[in-house]
Amino acid sequence: MFGMVYHHVASLHLMLDACRRYWITLNLKKFMVYVPFGIFLGHVVCKKGLMVDLVKITVINNLEAPRRDRELHAMLGHTGYYQKFIKAYA
């Protein structure tokens, strides 16, 4: 366990040094280190792995049924990515 933490701290130092060298500024409000979970690109990242934000799943579950082919294709395009996270998607 300690080896993993040491490796992550070393990688963090390398990344921060590179940011300093190339004059890249970081927004400290968005910078999180050693938190139990976080939201990254719409996913919840935690010890259990990658999960989808439940708010997004709730919105998809509450969508109205499409009435035309074009609406069906649009809905499938929006929800297809989340099918592995939604029980009984089909």
Report which of residues 83 and 71 the model is more confident about: 71
Q: With contact defined as beta carbons under 8 Å apart, do 75 and 83 qualify?
A: no
* pLDDT band, residue 23 (cuts 50/70/90): very high
Q: Where are the domains of the chain?
A: 1-33, 35-90
First to last CA, the chain: 41
pTM for this predicted structure: 0.48
Reported as a single tens digit per residue, the pLDDT across 64-76 is 889 999 988 988 8
Distance CA 75, CA 21 (A): 45
